[in-house]
Amino acid sequence: MAYDLTGRLVIGLASSALFDLDESDRVFRSEGEEAYRKYQRDNQHVPLGQGVAFPFIRRLLSLNDLNPDDPLVEVILLSRNDPDTGMRVMESIKAHKLNISRALFLQGGAPQQYIQPLSISLFLSANEADVQQAILAGHAAGQVLAGSLPADTDLEELRIAFDFDGVLADDAAEAVYKAGHLQDFLAHEQKLVDVPHNPGPLAPFLKKLAVIQKCEAERLTVDSQYKRKLKVAIVTARNAPAHERVVNTMRRWDIAINEAFFLGGVEKRLVLEVLQPHIFFDDQRLHLEPAAGTLPCVHIPFGVRNKI
């Protein structure tokens, strides 16, 4: 029987998101493809260091403990390497004991064309062009931003934080704000307070996370000692009264958010450094760049905030 991906949370992952490839890229750019090929062969059994998305992916895969015989999460490597140079990535996956067995090696080919056929809910890469092309094609995708990562030791929780407009919801409300003034935006959101937002690029990913949250709730009914791992937060520049439509949208989507921060223009970094998410998604670099030095941050190049 074929392995069915459609009911699972599937992450498409470039090796540049999972591992630190700075040294490999330096060899490729300064010495060329043949030197790069030799470098990767010579270092095939030298594990690559952790990249920005590594803590997130490791914890996400640990959620498969909820149903080991029929995993909830599948991670598929989408690599621009050819199979030969990609061997070091696969050896590194094995060395870090990550349960990732499916991989596509595309020798420079475009990974985004495989997102829909493989039922991928989220594609992560450090390659800005690949992410932009995926977003333009209507897929959920994000560019991981370079930065130093905190120590990754405790596997007890997976904390995921999202901006709202332009990430979970589309950019319709954000367009109103950008075109006018704060009061116009607040009046617009009050008028439509009971009308759920249209889904944004990461809404399908959030809905798959909600399925896992429900599995954890079911586990608690039969095992009172079980400790929930998955925690989801919204960190948004909205404040009251614009918060109401966010909450009403989550209710209509049947999604439980663990925490919400309606900051009204307060710098998000101040909250994020306390929350310490294992990954944070935002459509505006001005919110991401102050935090990217210490937190795993992902830019979603979607909507009016990203139009040139």
Q: Is 163 a catalytic residue?
A: yes
Same domain, yes or no: 66 and 43: yes
Same domain, yes or no: 104 and 222: no
Same domain, yes or no: 54 and 98: yes
Same domain, yes or no: 122 and 164: no
- Residue 151 has a pLDDT of 63
d(CA 156, CA 65): 12
Picking from 144, 170, 186, the residue at the C-terminal end of a domain is 144
Query: Residue 54 is part of which domain span?
Result: 9-144
Tens digit of pLDDT at every position of the chain (308 positions):
789 999 999 999 999 999 999 999 899 899 988 999 999 999 999 999 999 999 999 999 999 999 999 999 999 999 998 899 899 999 999 999 999 999 999 988 899 999 999 999 999 999 999 999 999 999 999 999 987 666 666 667 999 999 999 999 999 888 888 887 888 889 999 999 999 999 999 999 999 999 999 999 999 999 999 999 999 999 999 999 999 999 999 999 999 999 999 999 899 999 999 999 999 999 999 889 888 888 999 999 998 888 76
Pairing relationship of beta strands 158-162 and 297-299 according to DSSP bridges: unpaired
- Residue 148 has a pLDDT of 67
Number of domains present in the structure of the chain: 2
Same domain, yes or no: 136 and 174: no
- What CATH number is associated with residue 55? 3.40.50.1000
**46 token code pair:** 């030298």
Residue 1 inside a domain? The answer is: no
Same domain, yes or no: 184 and 137: no
Cis peptide before 55 (omega within 30 of 0): no
pLDDT in tens, 71-130: 999 999 999 988 998 999 999 999 999 999 999 999 888 999 999 999 999 999 999 999
Please count the other Cβ atoms lying within 10 Å of the Cβ belonging to residue 246.
Answer: 24
Same domain, yes or no: 19 and 103: yes
Count of residues for the chain? Answer: 308
Same domain, yes or no: 182 and 259: yes
| Identity of the amino acid at 288 | L
Given 163, 165, 171, 282, the catalytic residue: 163
Residue 121 inside a domain? The answer is: yes
Question: Could you tell me the pTM of the whole model?
Answer: 0.94
Same domain, yes or no: 44 and 118: yes
